[in-house]
Structure 1
């Protein structure tokens, strides 16, 4: 079974920190209505109110993902990554895998072309943090 090194895991965590931070900025911009809601959520939103709910949930979820990445780096620097944090990344990886499938059937081409590779990449990175690691 593939067992990434500490360096690989640290780089993966840092990539996730950057991407989740950028994603949080994107959702913040969406909440400020600088992006028309018709372009968000695969073009399936029907109102501004619905956009506020969905984007707020996205912001909170991404904040949790960011927190998990920071915790992962702290644990890996201590030499042992507990099972609960590895399960969190397995769960996050599954979410991104499902999101990738959702992006493939999005109404907007922009989401299909832009978001699909990003979520697939995020899924792979998250799954790389799941295998047991002990220093």
Structure 2
């Protein structure tokens, strides 16, 4: 059974929306920020800065994925979308490594999620025909 590229994109958007919810819960202090960013945040100001940045990047990532999946009108060319997604691929590879070495067990488990993101981005950018 062949899985269409748009299915991978939808899964990745779903994962990213879930991560966005987590970032909002941290930003709202419903979840302690000590479990995020490798356990290295020490002040509320650091948390607000890093969580806001994460939310902005995640929203941009979803928008790029939505363009790649033809769910919204593309403002970037296909080549530009691919380059952006390869950049995210690299960031998720680095994030996976960082999560493996994180100080909190909670974030270590996120290595599984970020590795899944890596694999999905690979499939999106390098579709294999069967």
How many aligned residue pairs are there?
122
C-alpha RMSD over aligned residues: 1.8
Aligned residue for 2:121?
Answer: 126
Offset, 1:132 = 7.3
Match for 2:18 among 15, 22, 41? Answer: 22
**Conserved 8 A contact 1:86-1:131:** no
- Please state if 1:110 is matched with 2:106: yes
4+ runs deviating over 4 angstroms: none
Q: Shift of residue 100 of structure 1?
A: 0.3
The Cα shift of 1:21 comes to 1.1
Cα distance in 2, alignment partners of residues 107 and 50 from structure 1: 17
- CA distance, structure 2, for counterparts of residue 10 and residue 60 of structure 1: 23
In structure 1, list runs of 5 or more residues that go unmatched.
Answer: 76-80
User: Is the partner of 1:45 in helix, strand or coil?
Assistant: coil
Distance in 1, matches of 2:22 and 2:127, equals 33
Report the counterpart of residue 8 of structure 1 in structure 2: 4
1:82 to 70, 75, 78: 78
Alpha-carbon contact 1:89-1:127 (below 8 Å) kept:
no
- Whether the 8 Å contact between 2:96 and 2:114 is mirrored in structure 1 is yes
- The aligned runs of 1:37-48 (5 Å cut-off) are 37-48=33-44
Show the counterpart of 1:96. Answer: 92
Q: Give TM-score, length-normalised by structure 1.
A: 0.84
Query: Normalized against structure 2, the TM-score is what?
Result: 0.87
Report the counterpart of residue 52 of structure 1 in structure 2.
48
1:8 deviation in Å?
2.6
